[in-house]
């Protein structure tokens, strides 16, 4: 399996399966060392197959074949072929019954795909191609069938036996063993199969659906975590209600189970009726989880729940269609979180994430379309582009056809394709049908990679006169796509007057309005407005971030300050500040000097914002934050990341130093925030309190450090504790060491909280980063086989510790390369992900960039996994 050179799979080669599976029975004789699986399936030739006598392909990966029968007999000589991909069975009749006995080894499975052991329990991860690591099967998402699963295991070691659907039988057996039988009445692809065997405590609740059915909710965790389940269960119920109210979607089984697992490659998995979760996205108590953790848990719980319709009832035909379920489900969970959050801040957070992670991906060597047309390793395509940009496409579709039509389209989509495996084209076709629009031009968003750049120019006559907006677009080339076509860009705009009110006008023949969605579908277009009620002081562009583009509207500082003070669109208001920050950074890097007039103007605008009593705390906290280095790097062809980080931090200091008094004055109003309340208001106020503290420390406010110490000591919640730690984490000061030492002692035996400690240490630029790194890897709580632990150390080191990761002698690159190599031998999927910061070598100044490339080349010369090889080869191409 190792060093399989990546052979690409192409969308154009898609063919329907040669056989359908009419039903499936799986018997598991479970044990950690070796598990025996008996697979019985009824197969029938698929009338839609291209070749009438094609063999049956069953994939298998690291599975031992024990026996194989067709209709009760051994297949004749030569009919059963075993190859690198699994089994090929020739000469089958129209219909047949197969029985396969096979064996796999959960305890040795460090890849965490297929059946594996985690903290003494057995569990599975099958998406996308893990089922073939459990047994031989036509493991592809367009083969759907019903499952009957019998689990048998030691009664003491594995008292809990779970699989998808409903438990129909259970009992005791001789020899200290017991069994359970589960049936899932819904058709499903193998990637949604799951089983769990373990010693787990169950927290229960119930939910009554909109049609009055009672659903049992069961959350399984290790017994010592039983007191950290309330938030996840409450989140699940809110998500279930929201899906009914916002999307008309009801749950369909009598039981919904969630199991928390310590060792997990991703966030969570939507297996039918039996979600498996990274414990990080389940367990929460005020003492151990921050407000951000609470919000993340709620959103992942909702995401997996929403998959029950967008993913499970209607699934993907092939893995090129991954965004069909992921983009749509992210869109749905974003809608849910928006509903739980305040003042448009969710949208801002999503845009900030898109810019910091998806835009760089789309501009780098790993860029790919939302619907890719080939891949070497599908695990490398669970990307920001497929998920987050995919959600943006859904959002744009809704903007273009209108909310009600979109909602009707979703109803038709779920109704028409229920129980089927379909494509993104099918989805868009439904939206075209219900809206009566030709959406073919829109589909370019699915097939074309890269972030479009839009330029806006305007001209005005006086009041009562006309306005003209000219928009142009261009998408830079991406790997394999030199030439780009224009895409359909919905641009939401408004004109604001001197008091920040919206100006009315109309487009030729149109109604009088105060906000428009301009559709830019060509390279250049001009839009005319007539009878403006006033002359605009500012234009509010791309309101709500109506399209995932990079906009250059050439706005002056006064206009941006006006938007920052008045814009009623939260995104646009935040964006005005972001544009100012970016401009100041650009000037520092490109002209090697600060633009003092610009920076004074920004400081002035921020001062006004701090005096504004009307602004919501959470929005203020969000606006005050400068963009992260990784986002700022996108402003330049190549940049020295260490210098960029220093300029960013220096700009922050320069802007907030004169504002420390203003910040101090707000703080007393936030003295009561650590009150155990978990409303959006309470969380927003805590966020502001912590942001002000951090900005004051960054601005060298002498009073802030003792305040941070006091906040930590008095804290009754993890949010306030982390707020204090974050504030001092870049200070080479005793306070930092004292607090971190206390934190480590307090949470040494609590892995999820210990991860926060790892992150603080690894992500800090304080001198001695490599010694700290060594110490973390030696820490008794660190384990190479646990993805959360590894990510907690390596992630922040590469993402936030520019000084060490990009140290100019290349030490950081060599260390990380070495860790990736080590990890690859155990867990290729996580290794391939952690290698990604190294792939950005072309964006880094030449001296460093060459060292990054050299590290990639060193790895390329080794025998690495297909996952890692695919990433490295694309990065070096
Ligand atoms: N479908 C899961 C989710 O979005 C993610 C599973 C990803 N698995 C993987 N091996 N890449 O919630
Ligand atoms: Zn998902």
Residue 663: CATH number of its domain: 1.25.50.10
Question: Does the Cβ of 265 fall within 6 Å of ligand 1?
Answer: yes
User: Of the bound ligands, which one is closest to the alpha carbon of residue 278?
Assistant: 1
Q: Quick one: pLDDT at residue 209?
A: 98
Q: Higher pLDDT residue, 768 or 340?
A: 768
Question: Does the Cβ of 318 fall within 6 Å of ligand 1?
Answer: no
Q: Please check whether residues 516 and 437 belong to one and the same domain.
A: no
Which of 447, 472, 489 is at the close of a domain?
447
Count of the separate structural domains present in the chain: 4
Q: How many angstroms is it from 320 CA to the middle of ligand 2?
A: 15
Rounded Cα–Cα distance for residues 256 and 65 (Å): 34
Q: How many angstroms is it from 58 CA to the middle of ligand 2?
A: 26
Per-residue pLDDT at 835 exceeds 70: yes
Q: How many angstroms is it from 165 CA to the middle of ligand 2?
A: 20
Per-residue pLDDT at 448 exceeds 80: yes
Q: Quick one: pLDDT at residue 129?
A: 98
For residue 559, the Cα-to-chain-centroid distance in whole angstroms is: 34
DSSP codes joined into one string, 36-55: EEEEEEEEEE-TT-SSTTPP
Q: Is residue 798 part of a domain?
A: no
User: Of the bound ligands, which one is closest to the alpha carbon of residue 267?
Assistant: 1
Which of 645, 674, 701 is at the close of a domain?
701
Tokens of 714: 């008095």
Question: Does the Cβ of 301 fall within 6 Å of ligand 1?
Answer: no
| This prediction's pTM | 0.98
Q: Quick one: pLDDT at residue 200?
A: 98
Closest CA to 641 of 791, 800, 792: 800
Question: Does the Cβ of 367 fall within 6 Å of ligand 1?
Answer: no
Helices (H), 342-440: 345-353, 359-363, 384, 390-401, 403-417, 424-435
Q: Is residue 859 part of a domain?
A: no
Q: Quick one: pLDDT at residue 461?
A: 83
Question: Does the Cβ of 379 fall within 6 Å of ligand 1?
Answer: yes
Instruction: Map 648-677 to HEC letters.
Output: HHHHHHHHHHHHHHHHHHHHHHHCCCCCCC
Q: Quick one: pLDDT at residue 464?
A: 73
Q: Which atom of ligand 1 is nearest to the CA of 326?
A: 4
Q: Please check whether residues 119 and 147 belong to one and the same domain.
A: yes
Rounded Cα–Cα distance for residues 314 and 115 (Å): 25
Which SS3 state, helix, strand or coil, does residue 850 take? helix
Q: Are 239 and 215 in contact (CB under 8 A)?
A: no
Q: Please check whether residues 438 and 458 belong to one and the same domain.
A: no
Tell me the percentage of the chain whose pLDDT exceeds 90: 97
Question: Does the Cβ of 304 fall within 6 Å of ligand 1?
Answer: yes
Closest CA to 463 of 503, 508, 523: 503
- Ligand 1, atom 8, lies closest to the CA of 127
Q: Please check whether residues 436 and 564 belong to one and the same domain.
A: no
Rounded Cα–Cα distance for residues 154 and 525 (Å): 70
Rounded Cα–Cα distance for residues 104 and 144 (Å): 23
Per-residue pLDDT at 342 exceeds 90: no
C-alpha pair distances (Å), 789 with each of 263, 750, 754, 792, 837: 9, 12, 9, 5, 18
Q: Please check whether residues 543 and 460 belong to one and the same domain.
A: yes
Extended strands (E) in 113-159: 114-118, 121-125, 145-154
Which of 636, 671, 701 is at the close of a domain?
701
Angle between helices 291-306 and 718-728 (to 10 degrees): 120
Q: Please check whether residues 179 and 165 belong to one and the same domain.
A: yes
Write the CATH number for 163: 2.60.40.1730
Q: Please check whether residues 35 and 127 belong to one and the same domain.
A: yes
Q: Is residue 134 part of a domain?
A: yes
Per-residue pLDDT at 289 exceeds 50: yes
Tokens of 844: 């880094």
Question: Does the Cβ of 269 fall within 6 Å of ligand 1?
Answer: yes
Question: Does the Cβ of 326 fall within 6 Å of ligand 1?
Answer: yes
Rounded Cα–Cα distance for residues 218 and 521 (Å): 49
Closest CA to 560 of 594, 598, 590, 596: 598
pLDDT in tens, 195-236: 999 999 999 999 999 999 999 999 999 999 999 999 999 999
pLDDT in tens, 234-282: 999 999 999 999 999 999 999 999 999 999 999 999 999 999 999 999 9
Torsion of CA 48, 50, 53, 59, to 10 degrees: -90
Q: Is residue 618 part of a domain?
A: yes
Q: Quick one: pLDDT at residue 2?
A: 39
Q: In testing the pocket of ligand 1, which one of 133, 274, 382 has its CB within 8 Å of the most ligand atoms? A: 382
Question: Does the Cβ of 388 fall within 6 Å of ligand 1?
Answer: no
Q: Please check whether residues 61 and 171 belong to one and the same domain.
A: yes
The mean predicted confidence, pLDDT, of the chain is: 97
**Residue 465 banded pLDDT, cuts 50, 70, 90:** confident
- 289 DSSP 8-state letter: -
In the set 304, 388, 634, 652, the catalytic residue is 304
Question: Does the Cβ of 495 fall within 6 Å of ligand 1?
Answer: no
User: Of the bound ligands, which one is closest to the alpha carbon of residue 330?
Assistant: 2
Tell me the percentage of the chain whose pLDDT exceeds 70: 99
Q: Which atom of ligand 1 is nearest to the CA of 307?
A: 12
Tokens of 293: 């953790």
Q: What is the mean pLDDT of residues 571-596?
A: 97
- Ligand 1, atom 11, lies closest to the CA of 379
Identify any residues that bridge with 24 across adjacent strands, giving them in sequence order.
41, 147
Q: Please check whether residues 536 and 594 belong to one and the same domain.
A: no
Q: How many angstroms is it from 308 CA to the middle of ligand 2?
A: 10
pLDDT in tens, 70-111: 999 999 999 999 999 999 999 999 999 999 999 999 999 999
Angle between helices 570-590 and 641-656 (to 10 degrees): 120
Question: Does the Cβ of 127 fall within 6 Å of ligand 1?
Answer: yes
Per-residue pLDDT at 851 exceeds 80: yes
Q: Please check whether residues 543 and 616 belong to one and the same domain.
A: no
Q: Is residue 100 part of a domain?
A: yes
Tokens of 352: 């900030």
pLDDT in tens, 652-682: 999 999 999 999 999 899 999 999 999 999 9
Write the CATH number for 322: 1.10.390.10
Q: Is residue 343 part of a domain?
A: yes
Tokens of 190: 């193998």
Cis, peptide link before residue 128, omega less than 30° from 0: yes
Question: Does the Cβ of 378 fall within 6 Å of ligand 1?
Answer: no
Write the CATH number for 494: 2.60.40.1840
ipTM of the complex: 0.97
Q: Please check whether residues 439 and 373 belong to one and the same domain.
A: yes
For residue 497, what are the domain limits? 453-547
Q: Quick one: pLDDT at residue 3?
A: 41
Closest CA to 615 of 680, 544, 564: 564
Q: How many CA atoms lie within 13 A of 798 on its CB side?
A: 23
- Ligand 1, atom 2, lies closest to the CA of 269
Q: How many angstroms is it from 807 CA to the middle of ligand 2?
A: 36
Q: Quick one: pLDDT at residue 414?
A: 98
User: Of the bound ligands, which one is closest to the alpha carbon of residue 275?
Assistant: 1
Q: How many angstroms is it from 652 CA to the middle of ligand 2?
A: 36
Q: How many angstroms is it from 382 CA to the middle of ligand 1?
A: 7
pLDDT in tens, 784-800: 999 999 999 999 999 99
Per-residue pLDDT at 1 exceeds 50: no
Q: Reply yes or no on whether 850 is catalytic.
A: no
Q: Is residue 718 part of a domain?
A: no
Q: How many angstroms is it from 349 CA to the middle of ligand 2?
A: 19
Extended strands (E) in 133-173: 145-154, 160-163, 166-173
Tokens of 139: 């493991």
Identify any residues that bridge with 69 across adjacent strands, giving them in sequence order.
99
Map tokens 């100041």 to a residue: 584
Q: Which atom of ligand 1 is nearest to the CA of 268?
A: 12
- Ligand 1, atom 5, lies closest to the CA of 269
Q: Regarding beta strands 374-375 and 9-10, do their DSSP bridges make them parallel or antiparallel, or are they unpaired? A: antiparallel
Which SS3 state, helix, strand or coil, does residue 314 take? strand
- Residues with Cβ within 8 Å of 161's Cβ and at least 6 positions away in sequence, in order, are 151, 153, 170, 178, 179, 180, 195, 196, 197
Q: Quick one: pLDDT at residue 6?
A: 59
Q: Is residue 494 part of a domain?
A: yes
Torsion of CA 739, 742, 747, 748, to 10 degrees: 120
Q: Which atom of ligand 1 is nearest to the CA of 267?
A: 12
**Residue 747 banded pLDDT, cuts 50, 70, 90:** very high
Q: Quick one: pLDDT at residue 4?
A: 45
Q: Please check whether residues 150 and 126 belong to one and the same domain.
A: yes
């Amino acid at each position: 399996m190792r060093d399989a050179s990546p052979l690409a799979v192409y969308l154009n080669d898609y063919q329907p399966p040669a056989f359908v599976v009419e039903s499936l029975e799986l018997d598991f004789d479970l044990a950690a060392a070796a598990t025996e699986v008996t697979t019985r399936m009824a197969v029938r030739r698929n009338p839609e197959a291209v070749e009438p006598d094609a063999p049956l392909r069953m994939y298998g990966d690291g599975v031992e074949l024990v026996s194989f029968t067709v209709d009760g007999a051994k297949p004749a000589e030569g009919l059963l072929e075993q190859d690198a991909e699994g089994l090929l069975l020739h000469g089958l009749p129209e219909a047949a019954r197969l029985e396969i006995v096979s064996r796999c080894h959960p305890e040795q499975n460090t890849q965490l795909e297929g059946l594996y052991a985690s903290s003494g329990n057995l569990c599975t991860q099958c998406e996308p191609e893990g089922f073939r690591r459990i047994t031989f099967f036509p493991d592809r998402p367009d083969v759907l069938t019903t499952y009957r699963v019998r689990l048998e295991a030691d009664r003491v070691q594995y008292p809990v036996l779970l699989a998808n659907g409903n438990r129909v039988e259970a009992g005791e057996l001789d020899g200290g063993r017991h069994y359970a039988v589960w049936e899932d009445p819904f058709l499903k692809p193998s990637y949604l199969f799951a089983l769990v065997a373990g010693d787990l405590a169950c927290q229960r609740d119930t939910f009554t659906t909109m049609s009055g059915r009672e659903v049992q909710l069961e959350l399984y965790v290790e017994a010592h975590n039983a007191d950290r389940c309330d938030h996840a269960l409450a989140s699940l119920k809110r998500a279930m209600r929201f899906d009914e109210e916002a999307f008309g979607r009801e749950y369909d089984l009598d039981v919904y189970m969630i199991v928390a697992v310590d060792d997990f490659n991703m966030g969570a998995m939507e297996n039918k009726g039996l979600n498996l979760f990274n414990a990080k996205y389940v367990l929460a108590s005020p003492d151990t989880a921050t407000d951000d953790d609470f919000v993340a848990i709620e959103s992942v719980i909702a995401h997996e729940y929403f998959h029950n319709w967008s993913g499970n009832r209607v699934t993907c035909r092939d893995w090129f269609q991954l965004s069909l379920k992921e983009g749509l489900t992210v869109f749905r969970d974003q809608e849910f979180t928006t509903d739980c959050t305040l003042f448009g801040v969710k949208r801002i957070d999503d845009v900030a994430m898109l810019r910091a992670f998806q835009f760089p991906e789309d501009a780098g060597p790993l860029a790919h379309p939302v619907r890719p047309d080939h891949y070497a390793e599908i695990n490398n395509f669970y990307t920001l582009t497929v998920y987050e940009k995919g959600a943006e496409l859904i959002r744009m579709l809704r903007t273009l056809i209108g909310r009600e039509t979109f909602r009707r389209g979703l109803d038709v989509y779920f109704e028409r394709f229920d129980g089927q495996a379909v494509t993104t084209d099918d989805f868009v076709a439904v939206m075209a049908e219900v809206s009566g629009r030709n959406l073919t031009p829109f589909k370019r968003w699915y097939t074309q990679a890269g972030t479009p750049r839009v330029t806006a120019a305007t001209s005005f006559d006086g009041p009562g006169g006309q306005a003209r907006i000219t928009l142009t677009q261009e998408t830079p080339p991406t790997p394999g796509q030199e030439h780009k076509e224009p895409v359909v860009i919905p641009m939401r705009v408004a004109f604001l007057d001197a008091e920040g009110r919206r100006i009315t006008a109309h487009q030729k023949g149109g109604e009088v309005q105060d906000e428009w969605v301009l559709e830019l579908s060509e390279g250049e277009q001009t839009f005319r407005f007539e009878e403006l009620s006033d002359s605009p002081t500012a234009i509010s562009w791309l309101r709500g971030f109506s399209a995932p583009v990079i906009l250059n509207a050439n706005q002056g500082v006064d206009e941006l300050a006006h938007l920052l003070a008045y814009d009623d669109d939260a995104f646009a208001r935040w964006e005005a500040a972001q544009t100012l920050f970016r401009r100041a950074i650009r000037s520092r890097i490109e002209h090697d000097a600060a633009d003092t007039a610009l920076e004074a103007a920004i400081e002035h605008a921020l001062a006004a914002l701090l005096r504004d009593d009307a602004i919501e705390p959470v929005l203020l906290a969000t606006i005050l934050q400068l963009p992260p280095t990784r986002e700022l790097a996108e402003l330049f062809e190549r940049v020295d990341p260490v210098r960029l980080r220093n300029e960013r931090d220096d700009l922050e200091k320069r802007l907030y130093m004169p504002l420390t008094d203003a910040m101090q004055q707000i703080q007393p109003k936030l003295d009561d925030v650590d009150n155990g309340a978990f409303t959006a208001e309470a969380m927003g106020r805590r966020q502001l309190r912590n942001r002000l503290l951090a900005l004051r420390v960054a601005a060298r406010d002498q009073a802030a450090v003792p305040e941070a110490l006091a906040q930590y000591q008095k804290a009754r919640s993890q949010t306030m504790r982390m707020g204090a730690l974050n504030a001092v984490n870049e200070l080479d000061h005793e306070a930092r060491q004292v607090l971190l030492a206390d934190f480590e002692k307090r949470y040494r035996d609590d892995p999820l909280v210990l991860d926060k400690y790892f992150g603080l240490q690894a992500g800090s630029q304080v001198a001695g980063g490599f010694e700290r790194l060594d110490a973390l890897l030696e820490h008794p709580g660190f384990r190479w086989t646990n993805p959360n632990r590894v990510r907690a150390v390596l992630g922040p080191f590469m993402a936030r510790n520019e000084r060490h990761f990009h140290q100019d002698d290349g030490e950081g690159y060599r260390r990380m390369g070495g860790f990736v190599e080590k990890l690859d031998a155990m867990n290729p999927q996580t290794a391939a992900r952690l290698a990604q910061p190294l792939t950005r070598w072309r964006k880094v100044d030449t001296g460093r960039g060459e060292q990054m490339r050299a590290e990639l080349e060193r790895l390329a010369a080794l025998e690495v996994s297909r996952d890692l090889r695919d990433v490295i080869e694309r990065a070096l191409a």
